[in-house]
Structure 1
Amino acid sequence: MESKDYLKDISEIKNLMNKSSRFISLSGLSGILAGIYALIGAAVAYWLVVEYSKGTLILDGKVFKLVILDLFLVAALSVITGILLTTRKAKKHGAKIWDATSRRLVINFLIPLVVGGLYILIILNQQKYGQTGALMLIFYGLALINASKYSIGDIRYLGFIQLFLGLICAWFPGYGFWLWVLGFGVMHIIYGSWMHFKYDVKK
């Protein structure tokens, strides 16, 4: 009987240590909405290129700037939505939204993402945009994997999927747009739904 109590105590201590070292208030619903934003943004970008550029995207043209603005708005909406929903979830469970663990999460997520973003801007400035979609997927995947050490470990699987899609995109750059839609749009909705029902609904 005592051994069972010891095992129970050890299990509880392990759970407390895991919670203290990982930020577990990420919202699955924010992933779903990020995917929806990406699909809408992709549809707008496709319409801009097909309708106004006749299928050809010129780097110094007006349409290209509109597409970049479109991507920026998708990213901004995703970040804002993620912050709002995650803050709401943290308050609901009485957890801190900004502490040492969440800071480590943000820093480890941003390092690959910022480096990747700067690298993409550099090659775009050099008028080399054939691998842009692949690089977005790859660096985003690396960011998720890097951040998973300080959050729900399941997000690393989404990171691996993004890496895989990025490598396929690098091999078949002609399908870059559709692989980007699959990675940032469809996979976010699928993965966000899974995370929502696994972690949010039950709790």
Structure 2
Amino acid sequence: MNQKHQEDLAHIRSMMERSSRFISLSGLSGVFAGLSALIGGIYVYQLFKANGMDYLSDDHKLYSTNLVSELFWIGFTILICALVFGTFFTVRKSKKCNLPIWTSATKKMLFNLAVPLAAGGIFCLALIYHGHFGLVAPATLIFYGLAVINAEKYTFSDIKYLGFSELILGCISLFYIGYGLIFWILGFGILHILYGLVMFKKYK
């Protein structure tokens, strides 16, 4: 009898979890988003070299308008790739587990994620407009970390560790202006891959 009650309680908890949290998020989304950022970061490093800049040794980095424009579009392309991979693996997991995608929890998670990201995007555009290029990478890490932490209550709680890691890394990079690419690769590349692998193993 006690075993039946425990099974019923476990079933009720599972139903409540499904209704209140977005649990179709796939660890592979993080892995491929990280790989996209890693490849993009390496490409940017090679782009600097092609423009005669030794990124790791130049203390004062001067960015031409054309280079800034190209960096912006590279970042935008990486974002699109991450969104495409995220959508693909999330839809695949939801179908495999027979879970609905567009629920109230999904809407709440996306809203809580979008508000800090939108504010961060405007802030970064303002930094570019005023020529403060060295602060863009730290700002993207900080606002992304805040967005992930803000959305954690509507998905897997483990995601908050990624958010805090991104936030801390962004704060540290504020004191190493000029080396934002390295921190950007660490945050959006390496951390995403590690987080994705852990999540995939834990919730596969």
> Does the pair score TM above 0.5?
yes
Aligned-pair distance for 1:171? 2.0
Deviating beyond 3 angstroms after TM superposition, the runs of 4 or more aligned structure 1 residues are: 4-8
Aligned-pair distance for 1:12? 2.6
* Matched residues, number: 198
Residue among 69, 89, 110 paired with 1:106: 110
Question: Structure 2 stretches of 5 or more lacking a match?
Answer: 55-60
Match in the other structure for 1:191: 195
In structure 2, give the amino acid aligned to 1:38. Answer: A
Question: Structure 1 stretches of 5 or more lacking a match?
Answer: none
Aligned-pair distance for 1:185? 0.4
Aligned-pair distance for 1:7? 4.2
| CA distance, structure 2, for counterparts of residue 126 and residue 113 of structure 1 | 20
- For the pair 1:146 / 2:164, whether they are aligned, the reply is no
Match in the other structure for 1:58: 63
Match in the other structure for 1:11: 10
Match in the other structure for 2:35: 36
| CA distance, structure 1, for counterparts of residue 142 and residue 168 of structure 2 | 8
In structure 2, give the amino acid aligned to 1:116. Answer: G
Match in the other structure for 1:137: 141
Aligned-pair distance for 1:146? 0.9
Is the Cα–Cα contact under 8 Å of residues 109 and 146 in structure 1 kept in the other structure?
A: yes
Does the residue aligned with 1:173 lie in a helix, a strand or coil?
coil
- For the pair 1:90 / 2:102, whether they are aligned, the reply is no
Of the structure 1 ranges 90-99 and 50-59, higher mean CA displacement relative to structure 2 is found in 50-59
Is the Cα–Cα contact under 8 Å of residues 23 and 105 in structure 1 kept in the other structure?
A: yes
- 1:35/1:57 CA distance change after superposition, 3 Å: farther
Is the Cα–Cα contact under 8 Å of residues 127 and 135 in structure 2 kept in the other structure?
A: no
What do you get for the CA RMSD once the two structures are aligned? 1.5
Is the Cα–Cα contact under 8 Å of residues 106 and 147 in structure 1 kept in the other structure?
A: yes
Of the structure 1 ranges 147-156 and 173-182, higher mean CA displacement relative to structure 2 is found in 173-182
Aligned-pair distance for 1:5? 4.0
Is the Cα–Cα contact under 8 Å of residues 21 and 154 in structure 2 kept in the other structure?
A: yes
Aligned-pair distance for 1:85? 1.0
| CA distance, structure 1, for counterparts of residue 134 and residue 75 of structure 2 | 17
Match in the other structure for 1:25: 24
Match in the other structure for 2:58: none
| CA distance, structure 1, for counterparts of residue 88 and residue 70 of structure 2 | 27
Of the structure 1 ranges 46-55 and 19-28, higher mean CA displacement relative to structure 2 is found in 46-55
